[in-house]
Amino acid sequence: MENKKTVRIGAVGLSGRGSGMLGLLLQVEGVVVPAVCDLVPERMERGIGIVESAPECDYDVHGYLDYKEMLKNEQLDALFIATTWITHSRIACDAMKAGLNVAFEVGGAASVEECWEIVRTSRETGKFCMLLENCCYDRNEMAIYNMAKQGMFGELIHLEGGYRHDLRDEITLGRENIHGRLYNFMNRNGELYPTHQLGPISKLLNINRGNRFLTVSSFSTKSRGLNEWIRKNKGVEYDLYGTDFACGDVVTTIIKCAHGETIQLTHDCCLPRPYSRDYLVQGTKGIYEETEEGAAGRIYLDGLSQNGHRWEDFKPWRDKYEHPLWKTYEESGVKAGHGGMDFLVLSAFVESVQLGGRPPIDAYDTAAWMSVTCLSEQSIALGGAPVAVPDFTNGRWIDREEPVRRGVYCLDDICTEFFPEK
């Protein structure tokens, strides 16, 4: 078997997510992590320990509290960033300017200017900036993409998704656990975490390659869930009780696309409820809808569904239309991390570093998907008025100079030629 090129990747941000992803990153063939960084010394030390305990580690690992020192001192090919939402792109832009390709964890943008900076820095430096949207590589999402590409849903009309996750303890205990969400919920009212479903939806709708987001309209409810959780779990003496949390408990956003599709997103992290990403894909020939977590979901296809106007289990359809990447992955052994998708998104990042560029989620995608957060804040402040989404491609969504890079991790087509028939 051909050996993959060795690439040197630094890691910044080593809390729960960063340290979990670091362990997986070290399992991707050809990856060396010579340097790790976190503002918190124990987390930086833990990061060193994770790298040193990897079976293939026969090199020194350097720890940093300041990522700028790390960029100055280390010879790295790329940077993996899992810091807080509002710090990802600052670190990413510094890293691109230092000559590194970058990937960062999901979150939304604080300003439109931040999104432009990602795009301009990537273009000016020739380095890529990839949002690590793992849900693009989820098994269900990939099977649906495969079916959609084969025309099974007809022309796509309306799509929905959400981040509906009871994070009341994680948000509220942000100071005790040194976790970044709290101050965002205290200060910002918007769709704070848009990309888990917007990523797969954007790839279905060819956003930035023939289509684009035109406007964002958002509405927010009042905020009650976090204070209620505090009252019940910490008591009214707890200093955060009675805080006027800016973020509404449920934020609903509608994005209108250039070719007439609508996307509805729901952000819902402050009330008791089961986890859901609420995926829904509706076209002229049928509809898919997510059901409970871990299940395949349900489907109805015009003329093909046997049961009158009733849903069918998606599982047999998923078996039939499994994405070739998932077929291969199942044969080779699915890794841990949100049902396997985390390892795939990291593998896609590493392959792009090894091949020198053009990741499946690029700076234009990163900017457009993240921009929904700050645009939704503006829309809510304007009573739900539609807010224009900038064209971060400056017209290139119509005539991209670079074709899609085809390969096993491609999210812009099904590249069957990379999956030889057995």
Residues that bind ligand NAD (CB under 6 A): 12-18, 37-40, 43, 67, 82-85, 87, 105-107, 134, 178-180, 338
CB nearer to ligand NAD: pick between 137 and 317: 137
Residue 337: CB minimum distance to ligand NAD, A? 8
Distance of closest approach, residue 308 Cβ to ligand NAD, in angstroms: 38
Taking the complex as a whole, the smallest distance from the CB of residue 316 to ligand NAD amounts, in Å, to 28
Q: Work out the burial of residue 120: count CB atoms within 10 Å of its CB; fewer than 13 is exposed, 13-18 middle, 19 or more buried.
A: middle
CA dist., res. 122 & res. 141, Å (int): 28
CB of 102 to ligand NAD, least distance (A): 14
Q: Which is nearer to ligand NAD, 180 or 407 (CB)?
A: 180
> Which is closer to ligand NAD, CB of 261 or CB of 362?
362
Closest approach, Cβ 354 to ligand NAD, in A, equals: 22
Q: Which is nearer to ligand NAD, 338 or 400 (CB)?
A: 338
Find out whether 290 and 280 touch, Cβ atoms under 8 Å.
Answer: yes
CB of 331 to ligand NAD, least distance (A): 24
The residue number whose beta carbon is nearest to ligand NAD equals: 15
- Decide the pairing of beta strands 280-283 and 156-164: antiparallel
Residue 211 C-alpha from the chain's centroid: 20
Nearer to ligand NAD, 169 or 391 (CB): 169
Q: To the nearest whole angstrom, how small is the minimum distance from the Cβ of residue 84 to ligand NAD?
A: 5
CA atoms within 13 A on the CB side of 317: 29
Contacts of 231 (CB under 8 A, 6+ apart): 241
| Nearer to ligand NAD among residue 15 and residue 220 (C-beta) | 15
Q: Please answer whether residues 278 and 242 qualify as being in contact, where contact means their C-beta atoms are separated by less than 8 angstroms.
A: no
Nearer CB in complex with ligand NAD: 94/312: 94
Distance of CA 295 to the CA centre of its chain: 21
Tell me the C-alpha distance between 412 and 210, whole Å.
Answer: 11
How far, in Å, are 286, 309, 323 from residue 315 at the CA level?
16, 18, 13
Rounded to whole angstroms, how far apart are CA atoms 134 and 117? 23
First CA to last CA across the chain, in angstroms? 17
Q: Beta 31-32 vs 7-12: how paired, if at all?
A: parallel
